[in-house]
Chain A
């Protein structure tokens, strides 16, 4: 079974502070991990995926297979980062189902 856990439903930080959104997973095999962001009244958008190793909008995430984690980090949060963030997991084969975590609502205060 595949499962994604985001332990924090709400996270509040001040502008300029570092932010880390936690994500742990369970999967029997080699998963593909994603972070999606949903801004208010907008559709779900891909923020980053572990295989691309990109940094988008200053966010990075490293896959830690030993700890089965894929935490999302940003060194200096901005007010426009306030949104709902979802960690998600799929298998690596085409058409594999995508399983979401419960989501973390990030609020960046001025």
Chain B
């Protein structure tokens, strides 16, 4: 089946620094990628939708200057959390569509900002 690789799985960074999370579709071309945020014991909240070669569409309340999304190729999308603060600590999950199997999810990235 379709596979999406998300890296890193865990990252700890200092407050004020930036962190980049990568999401790769390994065996299919991901026409659209999605980025979610999941708080403990809560559901996935969609942050943004990105299509290859175009600007991402952000959900209401999500700061586009803080959460930079780049979808430069059909197999790679990146999420950069800029000037991270402790309240940005969360579980970030990417998802890709285009495999014909609906949506394929990455394994998630646990971000801790200290």
Cross-interface CB contact of A95 among B43, B51, B93, cutoff 8 Å:
B51
Interface segment among A17-25, A43-51, A60-68, A72-80: the answer is A43-51
Beta-carbon contact of B32 and A46 below 8 Å: no
Beta-carbon contact of A43 and B32 below 8 Å: no
Beta-carbon contact of A98 and B103 below 8 Å: yes
The interface on chain A, measured as residues whose beta carbon lies within 8 A of the other chain's beta carbons, has a size of 20
Residues of B within 8 A of A95 (CB): 31-32, 49, 51, 97
Enumerate A76-110 residues with CB–CB distance to B below 8 Å. Answer: 86, 90, 94-95, 97-103
Residues of A within 8 A of B68 (CB): none
Least CB separation from A87: chain B residue: B43
Cβ of B92 within 8 Å of any chain A Cβ, yes or no, is: no
Number of A-B contacts (CB under 8 A): 47
Beta-carbon contact of B46 and A98 below 8 Å: yes
Beta-carbon contact of B43 and A86 below 8 Å: yes
- Whole-angstrom distance between the Cβ of A6 and the nearest chain B Cβ: 9
Q: C-beta contact mask, A27-63 vs B, less than 8 Å → 1, else 0?
A: 0000010101000001111100100000000000000
Residues of A within 8 A of B98 (CB): 94
List 9 A-B pairs, Cβ < 8 Å.
Answer: A43-B105, A43-B106, A46-B101, A86-B44, A95-B32, A95-B51, A95-B97, A101-B43, A103-B43
